[in-house]
Structure 1
Amino acid sequence: MTGTGDKTAIRHAATVVLVRTGNDGPQVLMGQRGATAAFMPDKFVFPGGAVDTTDAEIPLARPLAGRCAARLSHDAPGPNALAAAAIRELWEETGLMLGRAGDWPNPPADWARFSAHGLVPDASGLRYIFRAITPPGRPRRFDARFFLADAQHVTGDLDDFSSACDELAHLHWVPFAQARKLNLPFITEVVLAEAHALVTGEDISGSVPFFDNSTNLSCFRRIA
């Protein structure tokens, strides 16, 4: 499913829906894609992106919780690679780190600055809540897994985005009700509603929703 030559080939991806409690209730971290981006230009999205080939080799201080890992265990590239990709994308696009203190000898070059903080990626705070495959006909297609995470698991200042790359602009914490008023992709609206229900205590955790658009026939499934 992955491919480097064909930009429309489906690539595995991981996204983090990072939430915290604000004075006006739960807030979610969002940023805006550039106007010239090939995929979802101008849209507000959660931090995330494609899985790298090296993500499967990244050591995790603590893995995903058993139930989340089990739901991903039959999916290439596997739970550890998807968790590592989620943590890496969050860090690259926002500068925020989901890590645990520990030694990490000889980290890959793109993780060197993360390791320099004395941290090893920690996936224990990630909760797998949604899966969606981009429909055919789009300039980029992804098989995206969405992970909910409480910002209490982040190391450092939650309002400091100075180490972020320039892929997302206007990074900010926004109350869920206001987030729905932003310029959002359809799937982001759906995941936002799912995440809001979870953080406000609604019991919808029996399965993971899956929008399967891998073919021209769109299917809605649930991952038990």
Structure 2
Amino acid sequence: MSETTDKTAIRDAATIILLRQGADGPAVLMGQRGATAAFMPDKFVFPGGALDAADAQIPVTMPEPCRARMAQGHANPDALAAAAIREMWEETGLMMGLPGDWADAPTDWHRFTAHGLRPDAGGLRFIFRAITPPGRPRRFDARFFLADAGAIVGDLDDFSAACDELSHLHWVPLAKARKLNLPFITEVVLAEVQAMALSKDMPDTVPFFDNSTGVSTFRRIA
């Protein structure tokens, strides 16, 4: 079976943990995957998904030092940032961008540009990397980005433009999010985000759960 048809081949992916300040403290945006989804059915997750080849053509630049840390994994940091922004927009309808013309935008970004926006990765922070273990129906090398909801243009509670991939989109108080039906790795990432929210500082290294082989390895990316 070729790489292009092997659903269990490891694919690059990107996810955004979007935070806003609520009445009960920081809140995170999450949605629920469908019961029939091949990957993580019924689980509550952050917006995100696999890298598309076209993402490498989107004019965004990941800020340093995140860009250099991501490049250690032989990835295209800017393409992954574009994928994260695209997936969040598709799954939630929320747009992360700055005012500006984008005359040569791909056709599937025309609804984005119709708002007079260009995608912008300046508000993304690379905080976690994890590779799905063997034996799963889908495997991803996922990079998790943290972003403040202030980087979003428009109404933070308007999900009317979202596709149907995630249901029950809502802002969950960070202190309560881990009580939802979550994948294991999402629980781990939420714990990291809670620690960051308490300290107010970005860590000097990024956690990496490497399950590319049958042996799970944890290390930190400096």
Q: Structure 1 length as normaliser, TM-score?
A: 0.96
2:68 & 2:161 partners in 1: Cα distance? 33
Question: What residue identity is the alignment partner of 2:194?
Answer: H
1:212 alignment partner in structure 2: 210
2:3 alignment partner in structure 1: 3
2:150 alignment partner in structure 1: 152
1:26 alignment partner in structure 2: 26
1:57 alignment partner in structure 2: 57
Once the 2 structures are TM-superposed, how far is the Cα of residue 106 of structure 1 from its aligned partner?
2.4
Classify 1:11/1:152 alpha carbon distance in 2 versus 1 (closer, same or farther; 3 Å).
Answer: same
Once the 2 structures are TM-superposed, how far is the Cα of residue 112 of structure 1 from its aligned partner?
1.1
Once the 2 structures are TM-superposed, how far is the Cα of residue 213 of structure 1 from its aligned partner?
0.2
How many equivalent pairs are there?
221
1:12–1:50 contact (8 Å) kept in structure 2: yes
**Alignment RMSD (CA, Å):** 1.2
Question: What residue identity is the alignment partner of 1:125?
Answer: G
Q: Verify: 1:134 aligned to 2:132, yes or no.
A: yes
Once the 2 structures are TM-superposed, how far is the Cα of residue 44 of structure 1 from its aligned partner?
0.1
Query: Does the residue aligned with 2:172 lie in a helix, a strand or coil?
Result: strand
Once the 2 structures are TM-superposed, how far is the Cα of residue 203 of structure 1 from its aligned partner?
4.5
Query: Does the residue aligned with 2:209 lie in a helix, a strand or coil?
Result: strand
1:3–1:10 contact (8 Å) kept in structure 2: no
Q: Gaps spanning 5+ residues in structure 1: where?
A: none
1:20–1:26 contact (8 Å) kept in structure 2: yes
Q: Verify: 1:95 aligned to 2:64, yes or no.
A: no
1:27–1:174 contact (8 Å) kept in structure 2: yes
Query: Does the residue aligned with 2:11 lie in a helix, a strand or coil?
Result: strand
Q: Verify: 1:74 aligned to 2:72, yes or no.
A: yes
2:35 & 2:8 partners in 1: Cα distance? 20
Question: What residue identity is the alignment partner of 2:5?
Answer: G
Query: Does the residue aligned with 1:54 lie in a helix, a strand or coil?
Result: helix
2:82 alignment partner in structure 1: 84
1:13 alignment partner in structure 2: 13
**Segment drifting more, 70-79 vs 20-29:** 70-79
Q: Structure 2 length as normaliser, TM-score?
A: 0.97
Q: Gaps spanning 5+ residues in structure 2: where?
A: none
